[in-house]
Structure 1
C-alpha cells in the first residue's frame, strides 16, 4: 500500500532551509526535491546563502568587520521577511476570494447551481431517439415512403424483446419502424396526438438494467422525455412543450407496471 504524503509547498521548502522540519517531513521534502531539479536548485542556492550568512554572523573567527556583520544580519532578516510576506500574500489572496464570494452572495443572493447545470447528461440512446424522430419527419415529406401503421405489440416483443407501453385512446398510429442502433434493434412509432402534435415513441434495450423516472432532455428545436423500466428504455420525442412530453412519458410509464 502506498502511504499518503502531504504535498510539498513553498512553506515546506522554506522550513527545510531554516531547519524547522522534523526528520520525517525532511525526508518527504528531500524526496520531492530529488524529483524536481528546479526546486532543488533554488533550495541549494538558499542553503548556500544561509550558510554564508551564518559564517558572516559568526565573525569568521572574530575577524569580520562590524559593517559586514551588520549587513549580513540585515540580509538575513530581509530573506526571512520575504518568506513571511510570500505566505501572507497567499493568505491574502485566499481571503480576497472568500470576501468576493460573500459579497456576491450578499448582492445577488445565495449562489446555487441551477437544475439545468446540475443535471446529468441524458443517456446515449436519447440521441438515437432524436435521430429516429428526425428520420420520421423526413419520411413524412416523401410520398414514396409508405407508412406502416399496422401495429402488433406481441410481434414486436417476440422479435426484439421490447415491451411497448399501452397508448392513450386518442393517439393515432401513423407509422411503426424497426431501426438499427448501437444497442441493437430499436422501435420507433410515429404518433399523431391531440395535444402534442406529431411525436415519436422510441424504445430500445440499452444494455443496462435500471429504473429511471421520466426526465426531460431539451435538444434545440426538439425535446424528449426519457425513462427506463428494467432492461428497456423509452423516449417520447417531439416539438411540443417539454412539460407536456414529460407528462405523456409519465402516463406511458404507468402502463408498464
Structure 2
C-alpha cells in the first residue's frame, strides 16, 4: 500500500522558509507546494524577503537608509503570514460581492436570476475527476460479461487494508460491485450500487493526503453526470450518478454527518 504523507501544517511552512526542516520533510513540502501554486507563490515571496534580510544584515556597516530599508523588510516579513488569511477572506468577500452585483444587474435587466451552489462553488478537487472515471469504468464493467462483479465486501477489512472508512449504506441500496482502484493518492475504493430513488450510483472514497473537514458540494460534470463530494478528516468521498443535484447533495449531507459523528465518537474514546 502506498504511504500517504502527513498533512502540511502552517508552522511547517514557516520552518521551511527558515530552513529548519529535515531533508525528507522538505521534499514532501516541496511536492505539496508544486501541487498548490498560490501557496507556493506565497512561500517563495517569504523566502525572497528572508534572503533580502540576510543580505542586509550581512553588511557590517549598513548606512542609515539601508537600516531603514531592513527594518521595513523585517516588518513586511513579520506581517506577511498573518495577513495571508485576511487576504483570502477579502478575496472571498470580493467574489461574493461580484456575484451579488451581477445578480442585481441581471435581475434589473432580464428578471430574477438564481445562482445555485452548484455553479457558484469552486472547481472540484482532483479526486472528483478520479471518482467520475471510476463511475464510468464501473458502468463499462457492468456491461461486460467477462468481467465478474464483486458485490460482497467487509467494511472492517477495507479499513484495515486502506485506512478508508466506509459508511453503512441504506438497506434498500443494492451493492453490485466493489473495487479497490489505484490513484495518485494511494488506494481508493469504488462501490457501484442500485438505489430506488437515485438510480445507478457510485460511491468513491480516497485519502487525498491532507486533513480537512469539507461540507458536501454538488456539481454537474458532463453528459448528465453529477458528483457530490465532501471530506471528513483524512478521507474524501464522492457520490456520482445521473441524478438530481439537490437529491444527491441531500444524500451526501446525510453521509457526511453520519461519518463525522462516527469519527468524533471514535476520537473521544
TM-score for both structures, normalised by structure 1? 0.57
Q: State the aligned residue count.
A: 158
Quote the residue 1:250 is aligned against.
253
Among candidates 214, 234, 238, match of residue 235 of structure 1: 238
Q: Secondary structure at the match of 1:156?
A: helix
> Residues 150 and 117 from structure 1, CA distance in 2 versus in 1: closer, same or farther, beyond 3 angstroms?
closer
CA distance in 1, matches of 2:130, 2:174: 23
CA distance in 2, matches of 1:143, 1:108: 56
Report which structure shows greater RCO (CA 8 Å, sep ≥6).
2
What does 1:155-234 align with in structure 2 at a 5 Å threshold?
155-220=157-222, 221-234=224-237
CA distance in 1, matches of 2:194, 2:110: 45
Could you list the per-position Cα deviations for residues 143-193 of structure 1 after superposition, in whole angstroms to 9, with x for gaps in the alignment? 110000111001100110000011111111110000011111000000110
Query: What is the CA-CA distance between 1:109 and the residue it aligns to?
Result: 7.9
Give structure 1 stretches of 5+ with no counterpart.
3-100
Quote the residue 1:127 is aligned against.
129
> Residues 147 and 195 from structure 1, CA distance in 2 versus in 1: closer, same or farther, beyond 3 angstroms?
same
CA distance in 2, matches of 1:252, 1:246: 10
> Residues 196 and 117 from structure 1, CA distance in 2 versus in 1: closer, same or farther, beyond 3 angstroms?
closer
Aligned Cα root-mean-square deviation (Å): 2.7
Q: Which has the larger radius of gyration?
A: 1
TM-score for both structures, normalised by structure 2? 0.54
CA distance in 2, matches of 1:134, 1:120: 23
Give structure 2 stretches of 5+ with no counterpart.
1-48, 53-101, 262-269
